[in-house]
Amino acid sequence: MEQELRDLDIDPDRMPLGRISRKGLTAAFSVLQDLQVELMQPRGPRNLILADLTNRFYTMVPHSIPPGVPLPVLDNEHIIDQKVELVQSLMDLELSYSVVSAPSVKGGDPIRAKYNQLKCGLSMVDRASLEFQLIEEYVVNTHGPTHTTYKLHLINCFRVDRFGENERFEPYSKEPNRMLLWHGSRMTNWAGILPEGLRIAPPQAPVTGYMFGKGV
């Protein structure tokens, strides 16, 4: 997970895993929202305001950069989209870390203890099953037309049975307005996604950066 921080260009010495907090990341989202509002000013954004908000964001989310290289001012929608994605990734990472770092019962199997903390059952889908073939077909047929630099191949598929989810879903089981969607995430995030499910972005997050809005 520390390598994950480095991959995100976060300074792990100034922002170690154990000190990442949801409260701090929510505050960072608020700064990004203020930046977005400033960019939408009728007379154009004010450079001093952009610089101040940019400094506040980098203080909350310390980046790892080579010496002498200035951090870019957050002065356009594209870079704000990138920072929204970054903060969301840090939120997922914070949740995953809280799960894997939780103390285990003394004397028990440590691997089984971590598995139990996922609060779900995991089983491999038979490659010869209709279910596997359907998912494999979806992988091929829904590949984005602009994603021309790579191809996806389904190697293994796992069925997730989250505790209590069948009961929670039952009231909506006959709702016709449903479809299958993909959710891609870094491997380190799944320790948080499996027990907690997918979470919508907080209200402080800017509305930009979400293909289908915050609710999906």
Structure tokens at 211: 């293909």
Residue pair 186/1 in contact by the 8 Å Cβ criterion: no
Residue among 35, 41, 44 nearest 83 (CA)? 35
Domains and CATH numbers, the chain: 2-100 (1.20.142.10), 110-187 (3.90.228.10)
Angstrom distance (rounded) from CA 8 to CA 63: 9
Which distant-in-sequence residues (6+ apart) come within 8 Å of 198 by Cβ? 183
Angstrom distance (rounded) from CA 189 to CA 7: 14
| Cα→Cα distances 5→22, 23, 37, Å | 16, 18, 28
Q: In the 8-state DSSP scheme, what is residue 109?
A: -
Angstrom distance (rounded) from CA 87 to CA 194: 20
Residue pair 37/208 in contact by the 8 Å Cβ criterion: no
**Is 104 a residue whose pLDDT tops 80?**
no
What pTM, to 2 d.p., does this model score?
A: 0.71
Summarised one tens digit per residue, pLDDT across range 46-72 is 899 999 999 999 999 999 888 888 899
What is the band of 3 on the pLDDT scale with cuts at 50, 70, 90?
Answer: confident
